[in-house]
Amino acid sequence: NMQIQGGSYTLTKQLNIGSMLIYQCPDGYYPSPALTRLCQANGTWRPAPKKFKPQMCKRVECPDPNVLEYGSVNPPQEKYFVDNETTYECYSGYTLRGSSRRVCLPHGKWSGFTPICSRDSDNTCPDPGVPAGASREGNIFGIDDTVKYQCGSSLFLVGSNERVCQENGQWTGQEPACYCKHTFDTPLEVSEAFGAAIKGSLTTLEPTDDTQEGRIIRILKNGTLNIYIGVDISESIEEEHFRNARDAVLQLITKISSFSVRPESFKEHRHVLIIFTDGAYNMGGSPAPTVARIKNMVYMNQTTDQELKRKASREDYLATDKHYFRLKNIKNLQETFDDIIDESDVKGLCGLHKEYDTGGNIRKKYPWMAHITFKVNILGLRNKCFGSLVTPKFILTAAHCFKFGDLPEDVAVDIDDGQGNVKKVKTFMLHPNYNVKAKVNQGVPEFYDYDVALVQLEDDVLISSNARPICIPCTQETSGALQLIGESTCKQQEQLLLKDQLEALSFLTKTDKIKEKNVRAKLGDNRDECIRHALQAPGVTTKNPKDVVTDSFLCTGGLEPQIDHIACTGDSGGAVFKNYQQRTVQIGLVSWGTKNLCGGGGVVDSDKTSRDFHINLFRVIPFLKSILGNDTQNDYAPLQFLNN
């Protein structure tokens, strides 16, 4: 009996040998116990129908969320189906990160982010959590400590089954997820993740001469980017399904052609094209062993217990970003390809950088870094500040770097884009609310709220691997870098980037070389203890630390839970940043500190009471948007800021 209760089925080759029976169910349901059956040469189906397990459409389940450590999940249920809602609370002393409310979605996943209950500790890395349906081995999160994941029975793991805590406070690999056999990815999820990978390749695998013309990707002899697409035409894939796949691939190729690809150099290279077939071959030895290895690496649709155990060989493939996606049907594939390469989706690739030092060229690691210099003052000294390239036309820095009477011709920006290091300044704009003397009568001799400024260059910086903009909050470009799906909000970005009560951040310093400083921003319950040290700054007489440090600041420094680095003279205006999924996002900028422990720059440790305060860019978005997002002028291309 081939019937299915509550659904229907199709046959790829009628009742002939090799025909595949494919079950279909309404949205929110899946075929059980089998998704498909294959007609074998002996006239039987594989897998064979089971007499006591009739084929039916069952409600889609989501993996069990009751794996939350140090917290509770409500309501507690044995199974969770589509549209079931869960809420998450942490035990006393623990703080919730991730989503406090999640809904089981029709494609077998939970909405939102993995909830994690954690508390302050001296761990280097934050608690990585336990995804729904999984178990974790390892509860110590110091440098080089390892956590391992397993999925429950009938589930398989996508992502990294082992992650290692790095010195920078980040975990290696990709956050794991547990998939049921009926779990699939939506086209939007695939296009966001896979499209981001394509964009990263198109901008990091550059010709050696760094030739770029807007959106044109030139494939020249000195810099070739070939895209290979493999289509499986073997086994039980009938002509109609192959045509659908071919049409989807043609749609993708048509999109790629909008990059003005030049195919002449293709003839100068030798290429191997592999087509998966049913076994026939026209030259050389049998390709079957090689094809089997390729399929084992690429295909993830495990259908047997033996294949469910075969995870280790794929771990390298899944070690970093997500490379494997399951789509519900061929229509989803066409929609996905249409979204992956989109005219609006290839703009504003901020935050790209090399993860390593490329032959001593530190600029490729920090391509957004800029130095701002000012004319010699009456004492014969020349002021210097850091800045960050946020668009080809603008440098972001601190307002206090400028003095009354400074003119654009008194300011120069040093950024090496291959067209000369020193850039002329057209104008600069300080935040209109910045007033260092605003609270002198309240016992605050120097008040640094709104300590932010933008420097407009006369000419655009030439974007290359040496000079690229950093991502800033609340822009469409940053949502793409963070792989946020759908219409994202500024709040979502902040929750993702500042999700820990002790958030690992970095900023730069310079002596003879550029070096990176590491700090922890004290957020939530840790903030009040951190900012109270502002009362010890020279000349401060007020008793209320919030008179000195408003909500516009991030606070770092001190010895607990680890020793932070301290800002030095010359670090002012520099980006306070974090790397997220190999993209750099600026979260703040260096403003002021309670102690001057280092006059000449360099990597210096904080002491017990020294604190630094950095402008939180999430709090000055209106100012940034008014200039960088201004679409009423024709001097520069505006950034696309989020509506909310």
For residue 74, the cross-strand partners are 87
> CA-CA distance, 545 to 568, in Å (whole number)?
22
With residues binned 3-state (H G I as helix, E B as strand, rest as coil), the percentages for the chain, rounded to 5, are 20, 25, 55
533: left (phi over 0), alpha (psi -120 to 50) or beta: alpha
For residue 370, the cross-strand partners are 387
> CA-CA distance, 441 to 446, in Å (whole number)?
11
> CA-CA distance, 613 to 521, in Å (whole number)?
9
Q: Taking a C-beta distance cutoff of 8 angstroms, is the pair 501, 526 a contact?
A: yes
Does the annotation count 120 as an active-site position? no
In this structure, what DSSP letter does residue 63 have? -
Question: Residue 41: how many CB atoms within 10 A of its CB?
Answer: 7
Q: Exposure pattern of 69-107 as b/e (b: 16+ CB <10 Å)?
A: bbeebeeeeeebebebebebebeeebbbbbbeebbbbbb
Q: Taking a C-beta distance cutoff of 8 angstroms, is the pair 393, 497 a contact?
A: no
Rg, the chain, Cα only? 28
Q: Taking a C-beta distance cutoff of 8 angstroms, is the pair 84, 77 a contact?
A: yes
Question: Residue 539: how many CB atoms within 10 A of its CB?
Answer: 9
> CA-CA distance, 176 to 507, in Å (whole number)?
30
Does the annotation count 431 as an active-site position? no
Q: Among the options 182, 353, 371, 400, which is catalytic?
A: 400
Does the annotation count 122 as an active-site position? no
Q: Is 626 in a helix, a strand, or coil?
A: helix
Q: Among the options 451, 564, 571, 612, which is catalytic?
A: 451
Q: Is 618 in a helix, a strand, or coil?
A: helix
Q: Among the options 160, 465, 572, 610, which is catalytic?
A: 572
* Helix (H), strand (E), coil (C) string for 429-481: EECCCCCCCCCHHHCCCCCCCCCCEEEEECCCCCCCCCCCCCECCCEHHHHHH
Tokens of 295: 């399929």
Q: Taking a C-beta distance cutoff of 8 angstroms, is the pair 533, 553 a contact?
A: no
> CA-CA distance, 542 to 77, in Å (whole number)?
54
Strands (E), 1-53: 8-11, 20-24, 29-32, 36-39, 45-46
> CA-CA distance, 462 to 464, in Å (whole number)?
6
Query: Looking at the annotation, which residues are catalytic?
Result: 400, 451, 572
